[in-house]
Homo-oligomer: A and B are copies of this chain.
Amino acid sequence: MSELNFRINKNKFYNGLTAAARAISSNSPMPALTGVLMDVKEDEIHLIGSDADISIEVTLNNAMDQDLNLSVVTPGSIVIDSRYLLDIVKKIDSDTISIEIIDGTLTRFSGTNAEYKINGYRPEDYPVIDFTEPENKFTISSETLSQIISQTIFAASGKETRPVLTGLNIKTEENNVICTATDSYRLAKKTVAVQAPAFATTVPARSMNEVKNIFNDKDVEVAVSPKKIQFRSGAYVLQSTLLEGNYPETDRLIPSEFSRTLIINRFALIQAVDRTSFIKTDNMPIIRMQINSADDIVISNKNQEIGESRESLKAVSYDGEPLDISFAGNYILDAAKALSTENIRICFTGEMKPFILRNDNEDDSILQLVLPVRTYN
C-alpha cells in the first residue's frame, strides 16, 4: 500500500527538488530515473534524484528548517517526472502545496485554485540507491572544495577514449589531499592541507561539477569507499560512482628543475592570448611565444587561410636563455584564469618540454602544466 498525503512549504520544497533534480539526466534509459523519488516518513521527506552515476538525496524536516511547515498525514512514496514536478511546484498558486496519491500512482498536487493529477512511477520501479556513508572520511570546507574543483576540473579530458582521464583524481599523501586533472596535454594539480585517511580515487568531472553547485556554505564531509565517493552537508548527500582504471603517475611528468623563469602580469597575458585566439588551426589557436628578454616578448599566431597576428609584450622579469615555444592558447587561458595573483610565474625547461604556471607568491598549492605544441612556422 503506497498511500501518501502531505503538505509542505512551496519554496522550500522547490529548492529541495531543484537540488535533487541536478542528478537527473533527461535521456535516462530507465524511465523511473527521469523522476524524483519522494519518500515521505512520519516527520521528514527524502527527495532522491539520480542518473545511476550521480545520486543526490535531500532530506527536509521541520527540525532543520522551521519554515518548512511539513505536515504528513500519511507516509508513503512515489516517483514523479522531474520536469512536471518542478514546473508544478514552481508555479502553483499558493505558498503551501498539498500532495496526495489518489489512485495507484496518480498523484494530486493542490494549491488554492489550481489542481494537478499526474501519473507517477511506482517506487518499486526506482532503483535501490544505498546512501550508507563509507567509513573512510574527512571534512573539508565547501569553499576549499569549490576552489579545488574550479582550479582543476577544466584540465580533465572530454574524450571517452581513456575514461579515467575524464575525472578528477583525488588522493591523500601525508597531511595533504592532492587533486589532479589531466587530458595528457595539460595538467592541473591542487594540494590542500587536510587531515584525511589514506585513499586514492578518480571521480567523474560531471560529479565534481555538481558537488560545486550543491555545496556552497558549510563544511562538507567526504567519505570514500572502493565503490563510491560521498559528499554530505546539511540537508544534502551527493554520491558518485568512481572511474575505473589506473590513474597515470602524473608526478613523473612534472619537471622539478627549470632553465628559464618568466614572471609576467597575469591579466596582460590573458588579454594578449585571448585577442589572438580567433585565429585557429585545426580548430585550436596555436600561439607562438618568442622570449628574448623581459622587455622583448612576441606573441604571434599564424594560419595560412585566415592570416596572422603579432603582439609585443613586456614581462616583470625573465631569467634564462631566449626561448621560442608554441602552445594551445585555450590551455594557457584556462591555466592563467585558474591562478589568482597579479603576476604569475612560468617556468620552462625547453622548447618541447612541458612548462608550469604558478601563482607568484608563497601559495604553491596550485600548479598548472602545459605541453608545448610542435609547429612548422
Residues of chain A having any CB pair with chain B under 8 Å: 81, 83-84, 87-88, 91-93, 106, 113-119, 271-272, 274-276, 278-279, 305-313
Contact = CB atoms under 8 A, between A and B. Distances in A.
10 contacts: A84-B279, A84-B306, A88-B275, A93-B311, A113-B313, A114-B275, A114-B309, A115-B311, A117-B307, A117-B308
A308 B116 contact: yes
Given A117-B308, A117-B310, A118-B306, 4 more contacts: A88-B275, A92-B275, A114-B311, A117-B307
Contacts of A311: 93, 113-115
A93 to B, nearest CB: 7
B308 A113 contact: no
Contacts of A275: 88, 91-93, 114
Nearest to A275: B91
Would you list the 3 A-B pairs with minimal beta carbon distance, nearest first? A118-B307, A114-B311, A87-B278
Contacts of A81: 306
A310 B93 CA distance: 12
Which one of A116, A274, A309, A312 has the highest number of Cβ atoms from chain B below 10 Å of its Cβ? A116
A307 B114 contact: no
Contacts of A276: 114, 116
Contacts of A116: 276, 307-310
Query: What is the count of identical protomers in the complex?
Result: 2
Given A93-B271, A271-B93, A115 B278 contact: no
Contacts of A306: 81, 84, 118-119
B83 A307 contact: no
Contacts of A274: 91
A369 B116 CA distance: 29
A114 B278 contact: no
Nearest to A109: B309
A10 to B, nearest CB: 13
A87 B309 CA distance: 12
Nearest to A83: B278
Contact of A307 (B93, B106, B305, B310): B106
A311 B112 CA distance: 9
Nearest to A313: B113
Contacts of A313: 113
A145 to B, nearest CB: 34
Given A119-B307, A306-B118, A307-B118, A278 B113 contact: no
Contact of A309 (B115, B271, B305): B115
Contacts of A119: 305-307
Contacts of A310: 114-117
A312 B313 CA distance: 68
B312 A113 contact: yes
Contacts of A114: 272, 275-276, 309-311
A274 B311 CA distance: 54
A4 to B, nearest CB: 15
Nearest to A277: B87
A87 B285 CA distance: 14
Which one of A81, A87, A91, A307 has the highest number of Cβ atoms from chain B below 10 Å of its Cβ? A307
Contacts of A92: 275
A279 B274 CA distance: 45
A267 to B, nearest CB: 12
A342 B313 CA distance: 60
A137 B113 CA distance: 53
A83 B278 CA distance: 8
